[in-house]
Amino acid sequence: MKKEITPQDADIMAQLQGTIPMTLTPFADIAASLGLTEEEVIARVRDYGEKKYYRRFGATLRHQKAGFRANGMGIWSVPDQASRKEIGEKLASFTEVSHAYERPSFEGWPYHLFTMIHGQTEQEVRDIARRMSQTVGISEYDVLFSIREFKKTSMQYFDHWPGREKS
C-alpha cells in the first residue's frame, strides 16, 4: 500500500470504484459529498490516473468478452530457468493468450509458466495449446479448466483501506 495515499484520497477513490453519479456534473457532485471543490476533485482524479492508481477510467461493458466462451489455464514446465523468458514471450505472442506469467513451482507442481487461453470451446482451447506447445517445443504442459466457480468479485479496495472508516 502506497504511503502517500491519504485517507482523503481513499475517500475520493471510494466514489470512483462503482458507478460515478449519473448527473451532468459527476465530479461536482462527488466534491459536494466530500466537502471539497470540484476543481480539487478533478485535479486529484487526473493525478490518480497519472500515478497509475487506476488502469482506465470509463465504462465496463456487460458483453465485452462475448464470443470467447471457453478459457483454460495453460501450465508449462520449463525446468531451465534461463529459457523461461524467451519461451514465455513466445507463448504470450499468441493472440488467443490474454495473460502470461512465470510463477513458482513446487513438489508435485512442476509448472513454471501460466497462460490464459481463450477460445469458443474447450476443444479449441486445447488445440491452441497444442500449437503453442509445438511452437515452443515444450511437451510437459496441461490445460486446466474451471469446473466450479465459488466466488468472483471486483476488489473493493476502499471499503477495506487501512485507516479509513468503511462508508
Partner 1 sequence: MDDVDKKILNMIQTGFPVESHPYQTIGAAVGVTEEEAFNRVKAMVDSGVIRRLGASFDSRGLGWTSTLCAMKIPAGRIEEAAAVVGEYHGVTHNYERAHEFNLWFTLIAPDEDSVATILGEIESRCGMGPVYNMPMLQKFKIKVDFKFKEAGGE
| Binding to partner 1 in span 65-84, by CB under 8 A | 65-67, 73, 84
Q: DSSP code of 157? A: G
Number of residues this chain uses to bind partner 1 (CB under 8 A): 76
Q: How far is the CB of 35 from partner 1 (least distance, A)?
A: 18
Q: Phi first, then psi: give them for residue 97, nearest 5 degrees.
A: -100, 125
Q: Contact region for partner 1 (CB under 8 A) — 86-94, 123-131, 132-140?
A: 86-94
Given candidates 6, 79, 110, 145, which one binds partner 1 under the rule CB under 8 A? 145
Q: How far is the CB of 45 from partner 1 (least distance, A)?
A: 5
**Listed residue (119, 123, 117) closest to 70, CA to CA:** 119
153 by Cβ neighbours in 10 Å (0-12 / 13-18 / 19+) ranks as exposed
Q: How far is the CB of 32 from partner 1 (least distance, A)?
A: 13
Site string for partner 1, 48-67 (x = CB under 8 A): xx-xxxxxxxxxxxxxxxxx
Indicate whether 40 belongs to the interface with partner 1 (CB under 8 A). no
CA dihedral 86, 98, 120, 63 (to 10 degrees): -170
Element (H, E) at 119: strand 113-119
Given candidates 17, 29, 40, 70, which one binds partner 1 under the rule CB under 8 A? 17
Q: How far is the CB of 34 from partner 1 (least distance, A)?
A: 16
Q: Contact region for partner 1 (CB under 8 A) — 14-22, 123-131, 133-141?
A: 14-22
Q: Phi first, then psi: give them for residue 76, nearest 5 degrees.
A: -130, 130
How would DSSP label each residue in 27-43?
Answer: HHHHHHHHT--HHHHHH
Q: How far is the CB of 108 from partner 1 (least distance, A)?
A: 7
